[in-house]
Amino acid sequence: MALRFRKSFKLAPGLRLNISRKGASVRVGPKVAGYTVGTSGQRVSAGIPGTGVSASSKIGKRKSDNQNTSPTMSSWATGLVGLFLIVMFLGWLF
């Protein structure tokens, strides 16, 4: 049996911070559609409320299948710097 960990924090209306064992991500948008930036790349998703039907697509550069896709220290640092910049921008905005 595999155990999973995921925690989501609401930072502002339409802005969420997601933390899991594999890394962190920030999601912008409502529940039905959104843009996610995280340690594993960028993703766009959309769904139909109440049906369980949704679609998600990774955008940006594609990694070849033979490369290691586990998060590295540099990907964590990049995610944390991006998160810091978003939080600073929101602090300035509000």
Structural domain spans, the chain: 1-45+74-94
**Position 85 pLDDT exceeds 70:** no
CA distance 31 to 46: 8
DSSP state of 68: -
Handedness of CA 61, 24, 36, 4 (dihedral sign): positive
Q: Which of 3-12, 35-44, 53-62 has the lowest mean pLDDT?
A: 53-62
Q: Between 60 and 3, whose confidence is greater? A: 3
Q: Can you say whether residue 82 is alpha, beta or left, with left for phi > 0 and alpha for psi between -120 and 50 degrees?
A: alpha
| pTM, 2 dp | 0.57
The pLDDT of 42-48, averaged and rounded, is 84
DSSP state of 79: H
Q: Reduced to 3 states, what is the DSSP secondary structure of residue 21?
A: coil
